């Protein structure tokens, strides 16, 4: 199927933006995405046009929401004032990134795993969990695996999970499994709540602090008013804004600005 995307959209930058860890690039320029029990193969065929393969009807019903395609990121970038030259440069470098609307359960486990791990190590651990305990999906091109549910991971047991490179995060993962399975944490119920309430509920899971809760809110619930502060963003705030968080000024677009800044640090400033 051939589709058109008029707005900012860069598959490589999306993959490298630090919000998704199961995107696989192929030599022909195709990128494969997996979310819930859905899969997508997408390749840029010409400026603004893409060839996509997914389940029937899934592009309009699932993937448009996943890629936040009803929001105009070009206009958002144009709103950054000249008085904020750092974010202007960051947004230009990160042009094409979009905030992905991912599964909250997968984001909870993924961002617990992400603590003190680099991106390749996060990818390895997340993919290992999926291959061992997820459900197989035959796409016609390859066999892939859905992200395991809380029940799937509970069946794996302590020893099974211990073999997935989780390290000191293992008890945090087990806590998340227990809380979701018992209903103490109802991830569906958090949808639509105020941001502070979402974060406070997530922080009842052992090992989930403000930064991880903010990432889950941003990438699992589409709360673009969340702008998580990790060590890199903290350095940006200190070195470029005199210690005053600039992202809150952008309101409902704060998380988008944070992603531009994070990408800029990782892929431009660190390479200079």
- Give this prediction's pTM: 0.95
Select from 82, 86, 77 the least CA-distant residue to 241: 86
Per-residue pLDDT tens, the chain, 272 aa: give them. Answer: 999 999 999 999 999 999 999 999 999 999 999 998 899 999 999 999 999 999 999 999 999 999 999 999 999 999 999 999 999 999 999 999 999 999 999 999 999 999 888 889 999 999 999 999 999 999 999 999 999 999 999 999 999 999 998 999 999 999 999 999 999 999 999 998 999 999 999 999 999 999 999 999 999 999 999 999 999 999 999 999 999 999 999 999 999 999 999 999 999 887 75
Which pair of structure tokens corresponds to residue 260?
């531009």
> Any idea where the domains of the chain sit in the sequence?
2-72, 104-220
Looking up tokens 């599964």 gives 103
pLDDT of residue 165: 87
Terminal CA-CA length for the chain: 39
Q: Would you say domain 104-220 falls under CATH 3.40.50.10860?
A: no
Q: From the candidates 53, 117, 124, 211, which is the catalytic residue?
A: 211
pLDDT of residue 148: 97
Say what the alpha-carbon torsion angle 181, 185, 191, 197 is, to the nearest 10 degrees: -170
Largest separation between any pair of C-alpha atoms in the chain? 54
Select from 72, 73, 77, 53 the least CA-distant residue to 63: 53
CA–CA distance, 250 with 256 (Å, rounded to integer): 9
Which segments of the chain are extended strands (E)?
2-4, 24-25, 31-35, 38-46, 49-54, 136-138, 143-145
pLDDT of residue 270: 76
CATH topology of domain 2-72: TATA-Binding Protein (3.30.310)
CA–CA distance, 44 with 2 (Å, rounded to integer): 10
Half-sphere exposure of 18 (CA within 13 A, CB side): 24
Which pair of structure tokens corresponds to residue 101?
């609307």
pLDDT of residue 272: 57
Is 211 known to be catalytic? Answer: yes
């Amino acid at each position: 199927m051939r589709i058109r995307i008029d707005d900012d959209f860069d598959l490589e930058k999306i993959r490298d933006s630090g919000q998704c860890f199961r995107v696989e690039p192929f030599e022909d320029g195709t990128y494969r995405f997996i979310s819930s029990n859905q899969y997508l193969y997408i390749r840029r065929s010409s400026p603004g046009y893409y060839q996509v393969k997914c389940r029937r009807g899934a592009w309009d019903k699932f993937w448009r929401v996943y890629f936040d395609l009803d929001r105009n990121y070009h206009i958002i970038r144009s709103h950054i004032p000249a008085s904020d030259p750092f974010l202007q440069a960051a947004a230009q470098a990160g042009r094409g990134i979009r905030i992905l609307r991912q599964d909250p359960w997968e984001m909870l486990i993924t961002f617990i795993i992400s603590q003190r791990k680099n991106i390749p190590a996060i990818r390895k651990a997340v993919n290992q969990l999926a291959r061992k305990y997820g459900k197989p999906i035959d796409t016609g091109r390859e066999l892939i695996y859905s992200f395991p549910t809380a029940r799937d991971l509970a069946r794996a047991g302590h020893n099974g999970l211990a073999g997935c490179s989780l390290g000191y995060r293992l008890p945090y993962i087990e806590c998340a499994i227990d809380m979701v399975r018992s209903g103490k944490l109802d991830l569906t119920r958090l949808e639509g709540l105020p941001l502070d309430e979402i974060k406070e509920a997530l922080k009842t899971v052992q090992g989930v602090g403000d930064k991880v809760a903010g990432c889950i809110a941003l990438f699992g619930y589409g709360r673009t008013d969340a702008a998580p502060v990790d060590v890199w963003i903290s350095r940006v705030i200190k070195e470029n804004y005199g210690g005053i968080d600039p992202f809150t000024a952008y309101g409902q677009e704060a998380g988008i600005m944070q992603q531009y800044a994070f990408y800029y640090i990782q892929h431009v400033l660190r390479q200079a």
